[in-house]
Structure 1
Amino acid sequence: MLKFRATLLTLFSCTILAAQEYFPANGEVKTKNNNYMALTNAKIFVSPSQVLEKGTLLIRNGKVVKVGKSVDLPENTVVVEAAGRWIYPSFIDIFSDFGISKPEKAEAEGRSAEYEPSRDGYYWNDHIMPENDAIDKFTYDQKEAEKLLKNGFGVVNSHIQDGIARGTGVLIALNDRENDAVRILNDRSAQYFSFTKSIAQRQSYPTSLMGAMALLRQMYADADWYEKGNVDTKDRSLEALMANKGLVQIFSAEDKGNVLRADGIGDQFGIQYAILAGGDEYERVSEIKATNASLILPLNFPDAYDVEDPYAVHHLSLKSMRHWNQAPANPKILAENEVPFAFTLHGLKTSDDFMTRLQKAIAYGLPKTKALHALTTEPARILQKSNDLGTLQEGRIANFLISSGDIFDKETVLYENWVQGKKYVVNDIDKKDIRGEYDVTIDNQKFSLSIKGKSVEPKIEVKKDTLKLKAQLKYNEGWLTIAIIDKNNKTYRLSTSNEGITDNQIKGKVLLGDGRESTFSAVETAPFSQKDKKENYMPPLTEVTYPNIGYGYEKIPQAQNMLFKNATVWTSEEQGILKNTDVLVKNGKIQKVGADLNAGGATVIDATGKHLTAGIIDEHSHIAALAINEAGQNSSAEVQMQDVVDNEDKGIYHALAGGVTTLQLLHGSANPIGGQSAIMKLKWGMLPNEMVYENSPKFIKFALGENVKQSNWGSYTRFPQTRMGVEQVFMNYFQRAKEYLAKKESGEPYRYDEEMETLGEILRGERFITCHSYVQSEINMMMKVAEKFDFKVNTFTHILEGYKVADKMKEHGVGGGTFSDWWAYKFEVNDAIPYNAAIMHNQGVTVAINSDDAEMIRRLNQEAAKTMKYGALSEEEAWKMVTINPAKLLHLDQRTGSIKEGKDADLVLWSHHPLSIYAKAEKTIIDGAIFFDIEKDAMLRKSVKEERNKLINQMLIVKQGGAKTQKPEEDKKELMHCDTGA
């Protein structure tokens, strides 16, 4: 028995190894088939742009030998007649996890987290794993392979879809007839990255998108340092990153914003990624094209929403509804704009949805030639495998499809998928389309047969007169059988081969229930007719706006010359408030302030009875962000808020409606040393980088108090846990930064450290600190730390106990950004008083009233007015607290914050006194462009309502047509504060 098993094992081993030609064929008695095979008289798509009518495809040993209209066939050629068949190159998916087991999620323990790496000899961050090779975790999955083969795919590029640096991929031919030695085309096909950390690792950092971006930048800098031989120890991760840098680099972005973010990182380090897109690139196609990136494009168009319940649909966003309407046109729009892309199955619930979604994209205008490129030549080009894959040119791998017609038509049948010259049968190529209406007489009984369904899976309905009978049809391997049972349980069994099936008749034998045999002839009385279904309804596309959500603009506002006549002008300068005054705006600047000014071609705006002010500036805001905190470490000085600007946040539009033109987007208060700020103009409709100030002053968020020591959410694993520990964090990091600068300035080689570079900028006076603060003792501590290292804190924000130390703040030279009258919302603000702003101001401190709140930012004019009640400030001094004072704190007062000739035309026209609760911002202007207009807002409100109703009606029609729908889900952006995501 043991000997028998050993013999089987030996034979099995020989079979497996036979594919490797340099292995001896011990015990083999079979000879390898080296015959040629020719498929003749087919319509052959050699490539998407080269099509042969009645062509011949000659293959041998898994490769294309020749293709053409006239091909000389060697003597040992097996000829297959393929007249009426269409032959295409098989499809390629370059973003797959085929055959790769999914990593198990690491167990978490409440709010506690790991801050140190778990691996020795690898990179310091566990989410950087370029050493991972998909080939090591690959097992051929025959069941999944069959699903892919049935959908036309012959090759997939698979990788471990886990982590930020994910390692290399493996390129696999879906060849069931061979082993891995043959079907693995490349075991290091590409290197993969993403912005998403590993689910299998517990290390906390990064906890945010901006943290992931900072980590990638530091990783590349460290790799450069390592490659230059500056490290004595071995780092297997960086070694792998270096070894992989010559490979194709693929980045998983999965939405239009992240496509631009990924490309930005690539540009910084001289890398051109191929990027997995998200399907919404049509919204910013010109910017996407400018990346010069090849996209890997999913076809995950959303299903229509079930909108029959008016209550359920109430919270469904217009953005989501629009995306349902517009997404199917994404491939067409990218193709029109010559953005190169390859299709992927990634993002689909099942691979069986693929062709339906692709046909939908074609129905929306994607040319079929472009579709074929995206499935064949483009993925081959991206993978640098054009000499092997993607076409049926000579020397290419013999991967091809045989179909009944146009591969993209709904009625087309895919018969065979050949991979490396090996045939996989999808549907019987000899099966004929027997659908239609027939009359047949059997044993003097007349029957009507109705054969419907799919041509490859026909279904039958049999009637005698008007009575429907039991019937069953089977059609496999060239044989058709039909079983009929009449009302008296009399049976009729019909059978025939393919030879008995002609264009309008089916002939064969019939076996009756009593054992008699006879013949039958079913004559077609009417051809099969496919009824049009309502789901084919294509709703007209809605227009893309900027941003592409409710209240977006058809065109991005442009600067215009304008003259405000007879306004009450609040200059926020020494001139104070000027009555009946004109302000001329030209080329985005305030050109002149005075009486009876000449328009000189500018648009004249009658401001009689109205008030014109500088735009409100919010020194402390958390709107317009995709993330607020990078909480993975006690210092996140390396992260940048400009990386996560959310230019589609409706809070921007709301703030504009409240007269806000500029804000500082601050990191949160999860850690003592937070991230770098983004100072932005609220240019609704523009891209994030277009909103950030040019030559922006550099700021960073620091924090004191309860949040940084994590006393509010019971996390006990991260230092610091006490207020005195917070001080030591600052001391330690600034000392390290001091030593870092000393080494950098010495001329010696040094490891570039983004975190230390940022802190070094503080020490050099090039970056300013906005510090989250509450308690008197900590405010004093922070000033002493700064003085010890010879710099000044720029702004204490919140600072609700500022009134206790206002004299010391004045002496230090620090400003205060505070609330008007918030108090008692947590323990450390119990001593807050509403007179805080006025007391600090009266001590000579520059004070701003800020929001830190998505709702309050809309009424900062009213918050400023409260300082007149609590502290008896004049109306001019109160108004300065939301205009020129925050401009001074942000070092922007030479550019904005007041109405002065030469400054940016950041203005607000108010209907009433700007400190009044009745005041409305009628026009909010940034750099001379109107970004909010109260009259246009009224029209937009009406337009949004009409568009919602139109889209709801479209989805109702689609549902009535039988299409799939999904449950409406509320798409509501979280309102962020200092501790969001901490």
Structure 2
Amino acid sequence: MKFRLFTLAMLMCSVSLFAQDYFPKNDGVKSKNNNYTAFTNAKIYVTPTQIIDGGTLLIQNGKVVQVGKSVSVPKNTVIVNLDGKHIYPSFIDVFSGFGVEEPKKAEGSGRSPQYEATRDGFYWNDHIMPENDAITKFKYDDKKAKALREAGFGVVNSHIQDGIARGSGILVALNGKGNDADRILDDKSAQYLSFEKSVTSRQSYPTSLMGAMALLRQMYYDADWYAKGNIATKDRSLEALNANKNLTQIFAANNKGNVLRADGIGDTFGIQYTILGGGDEYENIADIKATNARFILPLNFPDAYDVSNPYEAGYVNLSDMRHWNQAPSNPKVLAENGVVFSFTLHDLKSPEKFKEKLMKAIAYGLPKTKALEALTTVPAQILGKSSNMGSLQQGKLANFLITSGDIFEKNTTLYENWVQGTKNIISDMNQKDIRGEYDLSIGGVDYAISITGEINKPKVAVKKDTVSLKSKIAYGDDWLDVSFSTDEGDELHRMTGRILTDTDNLSGRLILPNGKESTFTAKKTKGFSEEEKEKDEMAVPEMVPVTYPNIGYGYTSVPKAQNMLFKNATVWTSEAAGILENTDVLVKNGKIAKIGKDLNAGSATVIDATGKHLTAGIIDEHSHIAGVAINEAGHNSSAEVKMEDVVDPEDVAIYQALGGGVTSLQLLHGSANPIGGQSAILKLKWGESAKNMIYDNSPKFIKFALGENVKQSNWQSFSRFPQTRMGVEQVFVDYFQRAKEYDTKKKSGKAYRYDEEMETLAEILNGERFISCHSYVQSEINMMMKVAEKFGFTLNTFTHILEGYKVADKMAEHGAGAGTFSDWWAYKYEVNDAIPYNAAIMQKQGVTVAINSDDDEMIRRLNQEAAKTVKYGGMSELEAWKMITINPAKLLHLDNRTGSIKEGKDADLVLWNGHPMSIYTKAEKTIIDGTVYFDLEKDKKQRETIKKERNKLINMMLQEKNGGGKTQKPQQNKKESMHCESL
């Protein structure tokens, strides 16, 4: 290994060893070629915006010497006349895996994960590997380089595509005739990061996106602590991270949601990432633009789905159909919004697909100048290499393409790709253009031959009268081979010949289907004109509009607040006022302005609520909808992870919950560990961003859990502490003792290592964060309250708590509230003692009780779940209704803002077309902050609109298939229904 590193270090010298002027020359008479090469009479794209017609490009020793209309050509110059041809800078890819050895997957299998790190002297987490240098895994592969050169690329920035902190990249010129000392332009070109774990380690943490985000934050805090000399032991990972911090920081986000998550981490630590996107940024362009990031865009536009089978077509959801239709517009949308981006081959099956995809983006409206910038000047800027690549200005690398014409035209031929002044022939520049229309007569039978396609890769079509015949063509070195079938069967006419320079006709030897030999002459009747070129141009289908969110039931624009007056409603206040008949409620500026009779509407919209019921919006204290992830199961404590990091604003369950009258919820971490993650408290503002759904000045909550889940005994994980219920208690005691000591040190004013996990637990001790605790069995409920009392805090809420009726008096004395199911029981062993009277018994003992869902189906009918407490326990209708409005608001410390109809509170309201707890009643309007986010009449129209749009997109895909376009097999892309145990 040491020898290999030494060798690589030597190769990285800025000048090759063999070029050093002080090395002895013992290889005979040898002189260095210092000749110039001048390319004259070309249309030269010096930069995407500086174009010279009839210009000259002069190069020497792999560099551009001069470019312009009037270039002084030295005597020792090789002149290449490129009359009518174009010269462009070669392309640059800043996100590549070229030449880098792929990591090997860690050995081992089974359910028991690895919980400890495996490397001494490195960071505690195996997925943090900033010490990795791509150069140590690099081996030049000219076969792959050739494919890249043929796609127009001259330089690639490669890295190890593995892990969360991936290490540094390597910048490589695709020069097959040089050696590594020549072609490696930078051995530390950028630092790479992602949210994806390494395949080389089985270390469990993180198991989730939110865990990866927390790990990255802690990594940066630790790197700062290390840089200040506060850690006695050596950590090569943190040293490398700090050493690389001035490099370009490239983050592989891969989708629009992760783009915003990555940018948020960067903002926290003052880092502006360059971000690898996912091709869906157009759906959320305002937030994407606001990141101020530079982007690396893949061009992996999806193929149409094969929807010819109506049953299979039903598998494909509308959002996937839309993405097929809209994705090619992504570069155009970013360009129009001033977002800077480069292109990458990443995620394309082969470089050969690149031009086709790029042409599609241009057909969908991307300006060619922006396309060229994205391949040349922008990637050079991203890498900080604008001074020596990305354009053809004086002194820069002689990396350029010679083409037959506009490089972004389908039929343009790429002749040569020069890399570091070395010529790479892609297509013979002197090959004659045989494209056009020909007449051929064989034995008195007339045939029409049409040759189209690219000059060096022509396509042929042969017809007899109006019948198309099977045909093939091969062309090279001015010789062509054409074969076509007879109209009777598969027997072939075979022709070999070449173009006649004086007539442009094709002439040569013919072998008939019966084996007889003859000669042929195909007379050219028409050249390959612009008309034929237009036939080959890509058709752009009608674009369906983007909605907010961009799935079924999304809105054409984000809903806006309005002033409104509800007249003559039956108003369920959830306050001491109770239920008010024939009452008006005025909503103004997102607040409940007035409650009374015969109110003046002013400019407000009047809504006749006669015979209808107006209530506060339903609040679900325990939910798992609207989350990308639910559990971070890698440690027994994950207090550092945040559900706010993984809010999914496009979960259709949000819309469905609005249809059930729900306006707010607590998105809870799951129950994989005793100490779970921090909650997200949301207003279900359908069509808004995740950030705009989170309550401003949100109360701080965290999920704890008791019972069988946290031991993971039912998950067959036997290597993680705790394994017993008594072990669970010890976890709480140990962590709170650590948090107490941490907080004491922090308050002392002494230097301390910032620990996100301990910070969160210290907030609990200081009364700044509240606990919602997953619980079932009375013994554990008692235990948890005793632990809390030992450390001087109060359990805010026991959730599930199906044995709460057994300890309701103790809960009331402790001050704990309860979030429970109305009538779930016996679905697993530890709830066998559950009873449907649980909620009523706890309420009568003075416990604040809420009915919650924990389920994306039940959340739609919480009004009916509350009604069950009237049957099971004799609750009054108003008290039952409070269990889904003001009571959960109290448990979430939001009762001063929402949960009831009271002047000055947020206008979070539901208008029902009947009694709100009837199974026959529907929510007509669901309103949040004075904005209507669900309207029953609008919903009916949307359903019809969705049917029409699906039909339109299906017909477009059928046309794509019938026109010879590529298709993919239909597949169902359905969001998983999340619960406490979801991993």
Q: TM-score, normalised by structure 1?
A: 0.94
Q: RMSD across aligned C-alpha pairs, in angstroms?
A: 2.7
Task: Summarize deviations over 1:162-192 as a string: whole Å, max 9, x none.
Answer: 0000000000000001011100000000000
Instruction: Please state whether the residue corresponding to 1:925 is helix, strand or coil.
Output: strand
SS in 2 for 1:579: strand
Instruction: Tell me the residue number matched to 1:652.
Output: 654
Is the contact made by 2:497 and 2:506 (CA closer than 8 Å) also made in structure 1?
A: no
Q: Report the counterpart of residue 619 of structure 1 in structure 2.
A: 621
Which amino acid in 1 is paired with 2:248? Answer: V
Q: Report if the CA contact (8 A) 1:535-1:958 is conserved.
A: no
Question: 1:109: Cα distance to partner?
Answer: 2.6
Q: Who is 2:430 aligned against?
A: 430
Residues of 1 paired with 2:541 and 2:449: CA distance? 34
- 1:919 Cα deviation from its structure 2 partner: 1.5
Deviation at 1:31, TM superposition (A): 1.2
Q: Where does 1:430-469 land on structure 2 (aligned, <5 Å)? A: 430-438=430-438, 450=449, 452-454=451-453, 455-458=455-458
Asked whether the 8 Å contact 1:19–1:178 carries over to 2, the reply is: no
- Whether the 8 Å contact between 2:402 and 2:416 is mirrored in structure 1 is yes
Q: CA deviation at 1:555?
A: 1.3
- Which amino acid letter does the alignment assign opposite residue 354 of structure 1? F
Aligned partner letter, 2:156: V
Structure 1: distance between partners of 2:502 and 2:287: 57
1:813 to 796, 800, 815: 815
Alignment check: 8 A CA contact 2:628 2:648 kept: yes
Match of residue 855 from structure 2: 853
Matches of 1:574 and 1:224, distance apart in 2: 54
- Runs of 5+ in structure 2 lacking a partner? 1-14
Matched residue type, 1:716 = F
Question: In 2, distance between residues paired with 1:585 and 1:470?
Answer: 72
Residue number among 761, 764, 782 corresponding to 2:763 in the alignment: 761
2:971 alignment counterpart: 969
For residues 186-213 of structure 1, give each alpha carbon's deviation from its aligned partner in whole angstroms, at most 9, with x where no partner exists: 0000000001111111100000000000
**Pairing 1:462-611 to 2, within 5 Å after superposition:** 475-477=475-477, 501-502=501-502, 504-505=504-505, 523-528=523-528, 530=532, 536-611=538-613
Seen in structure 2, the aligned counterparts of structure 1 residues 879 and 177 have a Cα distance that, compared at 3 Å, is same
Residues 220-231 of structure 1 aligned to structure 2 (within 5 Å): 220-231=220-231
Aligned partners of 2:440 and 2:449 also within 8 Å: no
By how many angstroms is 1:505 displaced?
A: 4.1
1:534-933 correspondence runs (5 A): 536-933=538-935
Which residue does 1:952 correspond to in 2? 954
SS at match of 1:952: helix
Letter in 1 for 2:357: R
Deviation at 1:135, TM superposition (A): 0.6
- Other structure's SS at 2:615 match: strand
Partner of 2:424: helix, strand, or coil?
strand
Instruction: Give me the whole-angstrom Cα distance separating, in 2, the residues matched to 1:868 and 1:518.
Output: 98
Distance 1:475 1:31, change over 3 A: farther
Equivalence map 1:282-321=2 (5 Å): 282-321=282-321
Equivalent-residue separation in structure 2 for 1:333 and 1:466 (angstroms): 44
Distance 1:722 1:481 in 2: 77
Q: Distance in 2 between matches of 1:595 and 1:760?
A: 50
Letter of the aligned partner of 1:577 in structure 2?
Answer: I
**Sequence identity percentage:** 70
Structure 2 CA distance for aligned equivalents of residues 28 and 635 of structure 1: 71
- Do the aligned residues in 1 keep the contact of 2:483 with 2:492 (CA within 8 Å)? no
Distance verdict in 2 for CA 1:475–1:771, change over 3 Å: closer
Aligned residue in 2 for 1:27: 27
Unaligned runs of 5+ in 1: 1-14
Separation (CA, whole Å) in 1 of partners of 2:457 and 2:322: 37
Query: Which residue in 1 is equivalent to 2:45?
Result: 45
For 2:82 and 2:868, locate their aligned partners in 1 and report how far apart those are by CA, in whole Å: 85
Residues 155 and 174 of structure 1 are in contact (CA less than 8 Å); yes or no, is this contact kept in structure 2?
yes
Q: 1:596 to 1:510 in 2, by over 3 A?
A: closer
SS at match of 2:58: strand
AA aligned to 1:452 is I
One-letter amino acid of the counterpart of residue 736, structure 2: F
Cα distance between partner residues in 2 of 1:553 and 1:448: 57
In structure 1, distance between residues paired with 2:485 and 2:719: 76
Moved more, 431-440 or 459-468: 459-468
* Structure 2 residue aligned with 1:36: 36
User: Quick check: 1:142–1:176 contact (8 Å CA) kept in 2?
Assistant: yes
Query: How far, CA to CA, are the matches of 2:510 and 2:729 in structure 1?
Result: 95
How far is 1:503 from its partner?
6.8
Structure-2 change in CA distance of 1:518 and 1:395 (3 Å):
farther
The question of whether the paired residues in 2 share the 8 Å contact of 1:449 and 1:460 is answered with no
Secondary structure of residue in 2 paired with 1:423: coil
Give distance in 1, aligned partners of 2:600 and 2:925.
Answer: 21
Q: Secondary structure at the match of 2:768?
A: coil
Describe the SS at the equivalent of 2:709. Answer: coil
Give a deviation string over 1:300-327, Cα, whole Å, max 9, x none.
1110011111111112111000111110
Cα 1:844–1:204, aligned 2, differ >3 Å: closer, same or farther?
Answer: same
Structure 2 CA distance for partners of 1:869 and 1:461, relative to 1, 3 Å: closer
Between Structure 1 and Structure 2, how many residues are aligned? 959
Q: Which residue is equivalent to 2:390? A: 390
Please report how far the alpha carbon of residue 490 of structure 1 lies from its aligned counterpart in structure 2 after TM superposition: 14
- Structure 1 residue 111: Cα displacement: 1.4
In 1, Cα distance between equivalents of 2:173 and 2:89: 13
Which residue number corresponds to residue 8 of structure 1?
Answer: none
Residues 852 and 23 from structure 1, CA distance in 2 versus in 1: closer, same or farther, beyond 3 angstroms? farther
Letter in 2 for 1:625: G
Assess if the C-alpha contact under 8 Å between 2:87 and 2:403 holds in 1.
yes
Could you tell me which residue of structure 2 aligns to residue 54 of structure 1? Answer: 54
Range moving further from structure 2, 289-298 or 531-540: 531-540
Q: What is the SS of the residue equivalent to 1:600?
A: coil
Q: Distance in 2 between matches of 1:295 and 1:490?
A: 52
User: Deviations 1:946-970 (Å, cap 9, x if unpaired)?
Assistant: 1111111111111110100011111
- Give the aligned partner of residue 149 of structure 1: 149
| Aligned amino acid, residue 551 of structure 2 | I
Kept in 1: contact 2:411–2:533 (CA 8 A)? no
Cα distance change on mapping 1:468 and 1:344 into 2, 3 Å = closer
- Once the two structures are superposed, what CA deviation does each residue of 1:82-133 show, in whole Å capped at 9, x if it has no partner? 1011000001110000011211222343210011001000001000000000
Q: CA 1:476–1:313 in 2, change beyond 3 Å: closer, same or farther?
A: closer
Is the contact made by 1:545 and 1:554 (CA closer than 8 Å) also made in structure 2? Answer: yes
Cα distance in 1 between the residues matched to 2:202 and 2:575 = 54
TM-superposed CA distance for 1:702, in Å, is: 0.1
Amino acid at match of 1:772: H
Structure 1 match to 2:9? none
> Residue type matched to 1:871 in 2?
G
Is the contact made by 1:537 and 1:958 (CA closer than 8 Å) also made in structure 2? no
1:480, CA displacement in angstroms?
Answer: 6.2
C-alpha distance 481-314 of structure 1, shift in aligned 2 (>3 A) = closer
Task: After superposition, give the CA deviation of every residue in 1:723-773 in whole Å (9 maximum; x if it has no partner).
Answer: 000000000000000000011111110000000000000000000000000
- Normalised TM-score (structure 2): 0.94
The CA distance in 2 between the partners of 1:863 and 1:539, in whole Å, is: 48
What amino acid sits opposite 1:247 in the alignment? L
Task: Check 1:627–1:518 CA distance in 2 against 1; reply closer, same or farther (3 A cut).
Answer: closer
1:606 alignment partner AA: D
Letter in 2 for 1:299: L
Please tell me whether the aligned partners of residues 501 and 507 of structure 1 are also in contact (alpha carbons under 8 angstroms): no
Partner of 2:233: 233
TM superposition shift of 1:352: 1.0
Give the 3 Å change call, closer, same or farther, for CA 794–445 of structure 1 in structure 2.
Answer: closer
Q: 1:535 to 1:869 in 2, by over 3 A?
A: farther
Q: Is 1:20–1:181's contact at 8 Å kept on the other side of the alignment? A: no
Structure 2 residue 280 is the aligned partner of structure 1 residue 263? no
Partner of 1:630, secondary structure, is coil
CA contact (8 A) 1:563 1:599 kept: yes
Q: Secondary structure at the match of 2:607?
A: strand
- Whole-angstrom distance in 2 between the partners of 1:465 and 1:892: 80
For the structure 1 residues 197 and 84, does the alpha-carbon distance in structure 2 shift closer, same or farther, using more than 3 Å as the test? same
